[in-house]
Amino acid sequence: MKNETRVNLIKQGAIWAFIVVELIFFSVAGEFLSVSDKAFMNFDNMLLLLKQSAPIGIIALGMTIVMINGNIDLSVGATFALAAIVLLDSMTWPFMEALGNWAIPLAWFFALTTGVVLGAINGLIVWKTGVDAFIVTLGSMLGFRGLVFMYNGEQPTSHLNWTLVDFAEAQFLGLHTATWFLLGAALLLWLLMTKTVHGRNAYAIGNNRDAAVNAGIRVGPHFLWNFMLIGFLAALSAVVFYSESGSVNPNDGMLYELWAITAVVLGGTKLSGGYGSIVSTLGGVIAIQLLRKGLGHIGADTETVNLVIGLILIAVLFLDRQLNRKGKEELRT
Amino acid sequence: MKITTKLALACTTAMLGTAAHGEAHSSTYTIGITQNNVGVDSYQTTYEQAFIAAAEANENVDVVVLDAGGDVARQIAQMEDLIQQDVDAIIIWPTNGEAVIPAVRKASQAEIPVIVTNSNIAEEGFDFVASFSGPDNITQGSRSAEIMCDRFKDLGIETEAQVVQISGQPGYTTAIERAKGFEDRLPEVCPDVTLVETQPGDWNREKSQQVMEAFLVKYDDIDGVYAGDDNMGVGALNAAFAAGRAEGITFVGATNFAVGYEAMGRGEYWGSIYQSPVDDAEAALQTAIDVLDGEDIPFLNYFDTPKITQDNMDEFTKPVF
């Protein structure tokens, strides 16, 4: 038991230790390599870091829950783009324009509803057909992206609303709007996963689905709720981000699913389900954004980021495997 | 914990190694650039290489070279980082001409001049931009008209020639401006030449081939084809070949592509406009330096895109794209 706690501690502490290493490395390297006079560990820069983590971060939080379930959602990038289009396009509809700035909350509502509906489609198919979530969401990733292109062809969908931009750029108690959404979502989901029956069921299903069914957990509806949740979060991410930028390219959000999964795995969540934590995912997201930011700061090629993250990802999985094997061996003796 | 630290250290050392060639020495200007998507095509790749080379050749300039990888979110984050690093000027190749406007506004609020390169941002953002450095599409259009007209004069058909136009994707500024430049200039230089019809080819070779097939059926006499870029021009050329009518037609394009250059070499395609990514990159850097020097530069600061025809094509190297 004591051993298990220690292993858990290492697993959950690892990502934060890595973040500390990154901070030290970029601070030191920045002194020598950066053309900027400003320190990397500048307070404003760290606030910016949190803000820039938000778009992928909010999605990754949802991905954590889906992955704890033992599922995966590859369609989040397309959901993100479609919600963004609904957000921006709905504000140009005549009745919405007549509402003035009251159109903004309504447009948010439309976008979030879009996300929930798309998530529900995934969830229902997974529930009713029993097809693996990987395949179902692979299909919907392509399908939803097709809808994105059908909406406006290859043209960007644009609507620049300065009230919205000012809101999104605002800083309350020092933190940017996007950061509040990220931290708020993280807090709520952490509560959901640790303090509620739904959260405990998520772990139980991921650990052993048959046992969970036998224990009377209704797995299908449980999946449906989680897919609706991740759809909602993908749309929320779009709402937060596009409030600030006002134009969406039809290929926006591509590869976001992979970045989100990377962040989740970096945070120690198991691909096979049953194990993971919201807080560690937050760490994984910050670690990725820190790498992007830091490598830019010291003047390295942007492509280096991908190489380094790839290496780290493999290292993390290897480490995870080693720790788990050790745990099992010690149990046997 | 120990293994993690070791691994992390190994990775960070790897990063240090790759990062070591970015040197830091004190100099007059620090200029940051965030590019659209290096590696997606060779124009952008060549642009980046030329930009870095130009910056290295100038000892008064340090550059921070970033690439958004086509991702708007990453480009906005890079803009914020450059503002945070307090660079002297920012050059941006927009991933999306509208989405980056708020980020550009932030830079202008931080009193950092922003130079837009290659393709301009939407008009709503003009107030926040110091200068645009890129090709002048209207001039490109009118130069294509001149190439076409000169050719007709050489052939002695400038009094009765009929021309069709295949334009770029509707809605694109580049497409609209090139068509406008061509349509305005042609009657000035060759008043008796008639432009019989214009159809969009959407920057797409196959689409342009179909458009040209329709033109060939509809008109018995076509003496010239103007295409918004060489890609579409070559599509039209293929259609004319299939119909056995390529011989008597003068093909003129814009943005000389490698396929267009090769077709010119074979004597099938007459002329185009040469747009070099090297000139594009050097112009962007020079514009940024001029802005910082306080020089009076026009808001739309174009670099030269010369005419290229079968007659003078050996003065130009084959385009990389």
B103 in contact with A at a CB cutoff of 8 Å? yes
- Each residue of B233-248: pLDDT tens digit? 999 999 999 999 888 8
Domain B2-129 class?
Answer: alpha beta
| Structure-token pair, residue A279 | 């807080």
pTM: 0.79
| Structure-token pair, residue A163 | 């009230």
- Each residue of A65-118: pLDDT tens digit? 999 999 999 999 999 999 999 999 999 888 888 888 888 999 999 999 999 999
Closest CA to A77 of A115, A44, A125, A123: A115
Note whether B301 and B131 are within 8 A (CB). Answer: yes
How far does chain A reach from its first CA to its final CA, in angstroms?
14
Sorted by where each begins, the domain ranges of chain B are 2-129, 137-275+309-315
- Each residue of A230-289: pLDDT tens digit? 999 999 999 999 998 888 888 889 889 999 999 999 888 888 888 899 999 999 999 999
Residue type, A296: G
Nearest CA in chain A to B87: A36
Residues on chain A touching B14 (C-beta within 8 angstroms)? 307-308, 311
Residues on chain B touching A36 (C-beta within 8 angstroms)? 30, 64, 85-87
Domain B137-275+309-315 class?
Answer: alpha beta
Q: Quick check: B69 and A302 CB within 8 A?
A: yes
Interatomic CA distance for residues A313 and B288, integer angstroms: 39
What is the complex's ipTM, to 2 decimals? Answer: 0.82
CATH fold of A40-332: ABC transporter involved in vitamin B12 uptake, BtuC (1.10.3470)
Interatomic CA distance for residues B32 and B284, integer angstroms: 11
pLDDT at A292: 85
Residues on chain B touching A292 (C-beta within 8 angstroms)? 74, 77
Tell me whether the CATH fold assigned to B2-129 matches the one assigned to B137-275+309-315: yes
Helix extents (H) in B190-300: 205-218, 230-242, 258-265, 277-292
**What's the DSSP call for residue A156?**
P
Sorted by where each begins, the domain ranges of chain A are 40-332
| Structure-token pair, residue B76 | 């906005």
pLDDT at A324: 65
Q: Between vectors from CA B170 to CA B167 and to CA B172, what angle results, nearest 5°?
A: 95
Mutate to test the interface with B, among A16, A35, A237, A240 (most CBs of B within 10 A): A35
